[in-house]
Structure 1
Amino acid sequence: MVVSDQLPKDATVTMRLEDVTALQAIAIIVKAKGFFMDKIENVYYVKTDAERAKEPTESDSYQFSYSRAKDVATLVASQLASKDPPQIDERTNTIFFRETRSNMDNVRKMLVTIDKPTKQVMIEARLVEVTANPKQSYGINWAGTLGGSANPQTISYGGYNQTVAQAGQNIPTNGLALGGQVNPNIAGSLGHLASNIAQSEFAILSVPQLSATMRLLNEDSDAEFLANPRIVTADNQQAKIEITRSQPVPQLNFNEQTATAVFGGFQDKKFGNTLLVRPSVNKDNFVTLAVKPEISNKVGDATFVFAGATVASPIIDTRSLESNVLIRSNDTLAIGGLIQDETSKGRTKVPLLGDIPVLGYLFQERLNARTKRNLLVFVTPTIIDSRYGTGLEDQVSGLHHVGGEYADPNGWRNNAKGAVRLVPTSNRQNVADYPKPGAAPIPASNGDVQFKSSAKDRDF
């Protein structure tokens, strides 16, 4: 140990320490007096703050494998004792810095800690538009609409969903389960759950519940599947799914000198389906989702006369909402309540007689139909396990549970279009036990289960 000459020679310190080593005791004394103790190789140097500031610096660099150097530069600058700003090379993703030798190891340890693989999340979205019928729930327990400030409720994650037997009766208002076990009487209770569909609704569905809901929607002739996109994004990075079309809209600028409108060209106006999702991976396989779905449709045109010409500008009807929710990976967030009121007019007539002027109205019938459409948004986040790659076929295990069965992943591995057959859950094997594509099949023992691929005659 080397002690600086700037430290007082006759100073004494008296303290009582128990269960500490000599080095720990010296470190406590040095810190209590406002000095610094740096370690270089196997030698400890005790010095003053002024001496540490005058310590010569050395150049060093670090090439990142996962993080981006320009994103970390600000953090590194705040940790450098030399206060020299670091430099980055974006081409090689390398950061260059100057630091004192005593603090060099601490900076490098920090860089190694930061340079970790970022977790990724696969986002699968389903946009379904159905007729807004308050007597239909499609197997979804819209727990978010039950209760209120006057009748508060407790919502628990996981568990068993209670069965609602009659419309408006026996609706549970306490201890509702989100994402729990599938309702055994789900098909028979479709017309019995009376929920206020005009309000913002939400539910969290497990994999079996989502599968049952999708089956019911597929059987409903009024349900229209607008989109089913999938996208992969990094942790805490926003993903955007946009299915839109553009229409040029004329832009008019007001001229203050002439007090007239001046044509300023065209600007594209987008309308369609947009979904913004920002996932944040938490502990215990949970994900915090920030979701913003937006649906816009053209409902008509507004016309006006400009410079002797008739100009049309589209009228856009937009439905959007924002939601932040904590959800388990592989579970599904279902959002409803985006209501659109559509009014349509029609006319029926008797052939020939209905075309007679004036008298033809006696042989015509005018119809005014009003339909409410409810948009259902299903968002499923799946944390991607980097040990098995990022392909969808590597994430199948555990994603396709349907009651007591699960999807055989052979069809996914060997043929992207292969049929996925169901086998009993008791025969399930770990995904790590399946050979990767191109690898030799695992020889079957007496206790192993053999699977036939739906795409090829290959035994596992």
Structure 2
Amino acid sequence: MGMMLMGWPVQAEALDVRVHEAPVRTVLAGLARSAGINLVIDDTVDGTVTMELHDVPAEEAIRVLAGSQNLLYRTDGAIAFITAGRVHDQARSCYTWKLHHADPDSVRQAAEAVAGSGHIGYHSDTNALVLHGSAQTAAAVDRLVQSLDVPVRQVSVEIEFLSLQTDAVKDLGISWDWTAMEGGPGHQAFLYTGQLRALESKGKARVLARPHLMAQNGREAQILIGDRIPVLTEHVTDGEVSRTTEYEDAGIKLSFTPRIHEDGSVTAHIRAEVGTPILVPELKAYRITTRRADTDVCMQPGRDLLIGGLISREEINNLRKVPILADIPVLGKLFRYHYTSKKETELVILIRSRAASSSPESVR
């Protein structure tokens, strides 16, 4: 702990002030003596302070110190006073900030943390934040609003859903043995775009959809390629069985939650889900089988991320018959042939993301 005051004991002269964890009362008294100021310090003033000021008038140094400790500095004739609780004693005014980008509730909650005893409100018609408080509180809230009310960064996401024949996947030499995918420099598991294009040209890969979406930084974006299917649900209450119909998503669903970094790379939480409706004849309703991939990856701008291993298996009932003869009672069975065929395909998802450029703009 120490304090050094350098300068002539004249109020107009500038001082250099260097203190480290010094008692606030001691520093204030020393500054007052150096400047020849008659200063009365309230008994409620306490605490320590660390500060370094160069070439400032003593009275300005006292004001800076008082402001940093939430104290009131006022003068009454030839005598100055330092008291605690400056916000309560200062004159209050009304200040407003019109918000352009940020969520009003989030900004208001943050502003309340720095407003102290100042009252923070929100005017929904004009999307404006309202403060009733002191000028110093308004300055603190203004700095906060300017730092928070900025355009939200966005990610441009291109997605491609492809259906591959299982033998085509083997031709690529891809193995989906991992339980959680990783991305980033050195991971080469996702460099199969060229081979997929070749399979597409040969008819072994089929593009199901090519959606494009924008995702805000830190917020989830979703896309569903499919439909909502009625699913029968049974409930047992006191031995009685009741059935209700609920609608569930069936098809391809993907959620993408990005976190944008300064270098333009994107860390994303990705969940890919494939729901296949299967008719249950005895219930005359559907059940949905689901395959899901859930991962966190680091994506470089313009690089493709590949998600696979989502295999679909279908059983298809087929009927072959000889026209006319197959419809003859009893004997027609000899001319009909029932068989079941199995179809297996694999869903592959290609994702390419790029941080969308946003030019800084003033919020005032």
- Report the TM-score, using the length of structure 1 for normalisation: 0.56
Structure 2 unaligned residues grouped into runs of 5+: 1-10, 12-36, 75-79, 360-364
Distance 1:329 1:83 in 2: 45
Shift of residue 95 of structure 1?
Answer: 0.6
Once the two structures are superposed, the pairs formed by residues 231-270 of structure 1 within 5 Å of their partners are 231-250=213-232, 254=236, 256=238, 259-262=239-242, 266-270=245-249
Shift of residue 19 of structure 1?
Answer: 9.0
Distance 2:146 2:303 in 1: 34
1:262–1:344: structure 2 CA closer, same or farther, 3 Å change rule?
closer
- Deviations for 1:177-211, whole angstroms, at most 9, x for unmatched residues? 53xxxxxxxxxxxxxxxxxxxxxxxx444xxx63x
Contact 1:36/1:46, CA 8 A, preserved across alignment: no
1:130–1:102: structure 2 CA closer, same or farther, 3 Å change rule?
same
Distance 2:64 2:121 in 1: 37
Match of 2:138 in 1: 104
Match of 2:345 in 1: 373
State the aligned residue count. 311
- Report the TM-score, using the length of structure 2 for normalisation: 0.69
Distance 2:344 2:73 in 1: 72
Once the two structures are superposed, the pairs formed by residues 27-426 of structure 1 within 5 Å of their partners are 30=65, 36=71, 47-84=82-119, 86-133=120-167, 135-137=170-172, 145=177, 157=185, 176-178=186-188, 203-205=189-191, 210=193, 212-250=194-232, 254=236, 256=238, 259-262=239-242, 266-304=245-283, 312-346=284-318, 348=320, 367-386=339-358
Contact 1:271/1:297, CA 8 A, preserved across alignment: yes
Q: Select the structure with the greater relative contact order (CA < 8 A; seq sep ≥ 6).
A: 2
Contact 2:72/2:85, CA 8 A, preserved across alignment: no
Contact 1:349/1:364, CA 8 A, preserved across alignment: yes
The percent of aligned pairs where both chains have the same amino acid is 19
The 3-state SS of whatever aligns with 1:5 is strand
Shift of residue 71 of structure 1?
Answer: 2.5
The 3-state SS of whatever aligns with 1:270 is strand
Contact 1:336/1:375, CA 8 A, preserved across alignment: yes
The 3-state SS of whatever aligns with 1:283 is coil
Contact 1:299/1:316, CA 8 A, preserved across alignment: yes
Shift of residue 227 of structure 1?
Answer: 1.6
Contact 1:57/1:82, CA 8 A, preserved across alignment: no
Max radius of gyration: which structure? 2
The residue identity in structure 2 corresponding to 1:289 is A
1:229–1:110: structure 2 CA closer, same or farther, 3 Å change rule?
same
- Deviations for 1:77-100, whole angstroms, at most 9, x for unmatched residues? 11112253x111222210101222
Q: 221-230 vs 88-97, which deviates more? A: 221-230
Contact 1:27/1:37, CA 8 A, preserved across alignment: no
Distance 1:57 1:123 in 2: 48
The 3-state SS of whatever aligns with 1:237 is coil
Shift of residue 223 of structure 1?
Answer: 2.0
The residue identity in structure 2 corresponding to 1:62 is W
Distance 1:29 1:97 in 2: 23
Contact 1:88/1:95, CA 8 A, preserved across alignment: yes
Contact 2:306/2:348, CA 8 A, preserved across alignment: yes
Q: 323-332 vs 48-57, which deviates more? A: 48-57
Shift of residue 5 of structure 1?
Answer: 2.5
Contact 1:126/1:228, CA 8 A, preserved across alignment: yes
The residue identity in structure 1 corresponding to 2:211 is P
Structure 1 unaligned residues grouped into runs of 5+: 40-44, 149-153, 158-175, 179-202, 305-311, 388-460
Distance 1:230 1:59 in 2: 45
Shift of residue 63 of structure 1?
Answer: 0.3
The residue identity in structure 2 corresponding to 1:237 is R
Shift of residue 23 of structure 1?
Answer: 6.7
Match of 1:423 in 2: none
Contact 1:248/1:267, CA 8 A, preserved across alignment: yes
Distance 2:346 2:90 in 1: 69
Contact 1:129/1:376, CA 8 A, preserved across alignment: yes
The residue identity in structure 2 corresponding to 1:269 is E
Shift of residue 355 of structure 1?
Answer: 7.4
Shift of residue 337 of structure 1?
Answer: 0.7
Distance 1:298 1:4 in 2: 82
Alpha-carbon RMSD: 4.2
More strand by share: 2
1:59–1:318: structure 2 CA closer, same or farther, 3 Å change rule?
same
